[in-house]
Amino acid sequence: MELTNLTKQTKIWLIAAAILILLAAAVMMLFEVDLSQIPTYLISLGFLGIVLGSLFVYLQTFFPFVPFVLLAGANVAICGMTWGLILNYVMACLGATTAFFVARKLGFGWVDRQISKYPVIRGFNEKLGEHGFFYILIGRLIPIIPSSAISVGAGVSSISVRSYLLGTWIGKLPIVALETLIAHDAIHFRQHKSRFFLLLAIFVVIILIGHYLKGRLMPKKNNNIA
């Protein structure tokens, strides 16, 4: 798709995304933010930290520049467990929704070329046409492939908007809640030591299940090698 053929709505999406990215970069330069210290900076900024925490969770869906659990912990520290969870969940879902529509509007050629380089992502994408909701739901619940790859890949697949949105908004809730609770218990480690290790064990099991499913459900790279 040529840039000159983009619709007005698509151009607005691009401009908005570019502004958000530039804003985040400007803030990080202004405050000389070390990525590993983002949670500490956000907490020290008070209400502005809430705004930036929301923005970072949103952008993390596009560019996983820092582990989600760190941003989740910062938002929990600022807003408390309940509102921190709500903020993390809503912004993560909005980011995934935006990535999907941006890819669907303008990314077919470029995204297809990128997906073709990764057999696992390509195999996952091919399944979305027939069982879109199921695979999006499983992909959100269990980290089979990166969340950003799911969002962008789904945008250039034949999955319906309804199936994608339902799979994403339902599937993201448990994993976002788990990571947010892990972050909360890490902050309040002395009070929730036992639960922290239990949740961490559950998270590790989910990661292992995702690794297993990746091998079982996705085509292996050497399958097509004679």
- Taking only the tens place, the pLDDT of each residue in 180-211 is 999 888 888 888 889 999 998 999 899 888 87
Tokens at residue 60, please?
Answer: 């993390």
**Would you call 152 exposed, middle or buried from its count of C-beta atoms within 10 A (0-12, 13-18, 19+)?**
buried
Residue 2 banded pLDDT, cuts 50, 70, 90: very low
**Residue 31 DSSP symbol:** T
**Residue 87 contacts residue 75 (beta carbons within 8 Å):** yes
Q: How far is C-alpha 100 from the geometric centre of its chain's CA atoms?
A: 11
Structure confidence by residue, pLDDT tens digits, 153-184: 888 888 889 999 999 999 999 999 999 999 88
- The residue that leads in pLDDT, 31 or 73, is 73
Q: How far apart are CA 45 and CA 56, in angstroms?
A: 14
Tokens at residue 161, please?
Answer: 């908007």
Return the half-sphere exposure (C-beta side, CA atoms, 13 A cut-off) of residue 190. 0
**Residue 115 contacts residue 122 (beta carbons within 8 Å):** yes
34-38, 43-47, 62-66, 181-185, range with the lowest pLDDT: 34-38
Q: Give the position of tokens 């799911």.
A: 150
Q: How far apart are CA 161 and CA 103, in angstroms?
A: 12
Question: pTM for this structure?
Answer: 0.72
